[in-house]
Amino acid sequence: MKIPFSYQTFSALLPNETTAIAYYTERHSTYCPGCNIRLTRPLRRRNPLLLRCPQCGKTVSVFTGTVFQGTRADLRYWLYTGMLFYFCKSHFPQFQLPHLLSIKSIKQEVGATSDQTMRRIYTTLRQLFDSTDEDDINFRNLIFQPLYLRAQQHRPFSLTYDKIHRRHPDRNADRGTTERDSRHRPNLG
């Protein structure tokens, strides 16, 4: 499948990692695991990812307890990939994600250098989007839905299936695909 919108378009929404972190912390609250109070004050101005509990003094990452926990990859890779997953789940719920998006195509689009990093992002987000747990659904709607809607306003997506296959079924025989195969391959572009 062709990627429905570019990483460059996405970067216009969140131009750097600092804006991506600000976007995330606007929508997701972090709580102290010991005191269970909401944490808002960063430990250091230079590092908005770490928060300190005013009661117990414990330092907590804004990603603690989420799918982003332990990551050192640029948060924009996670948000972009999650937004692509959200798009696919919203418009093509009958398809499984690996049939729509590949790790290689996302890695190429974002310009990532590590296969391992992109594989981790892809598999973790795939598990999140395949989950039927209410907390997982709420998390993905909280984080990825607003980004998806902002991106749609910035550049509307086109939703068309492969028109060539539908109009010219005889071309499918030349490529070794059947009419049924062509109907199950969405082409966004």
pLDDT tens, position by position, 60-103: 999 988 899 988 889 999 999 999 999 888 888 777 766 668 88
Counting every residue, how long is the chain?
189
pLDDT tens, position by position, 23-43: 998 898 899 888 899 988 788
Confidence at 138, pLDDT banded by 50, 70, 90: very high
121, pLDDT greater than 50: yes
Rounded Cα distance, 110 and 187, in Å: 20
Please tell me the pTM assigned to this model. 0.75
Rounded Cα distance, 38 and 25, in Å: 12
Rounded Cα distance, 189 and 3, in Å: 8
Confidence at residue 24, expressed as pLDDT on a 0 to 100 scale: 92
Rounded Cα distance, 163 and 187, in Å: 9
* Percent share of the chain, pLDDT over 70: 77
Rounded Cα distance, 5 and 77, in Å: 14
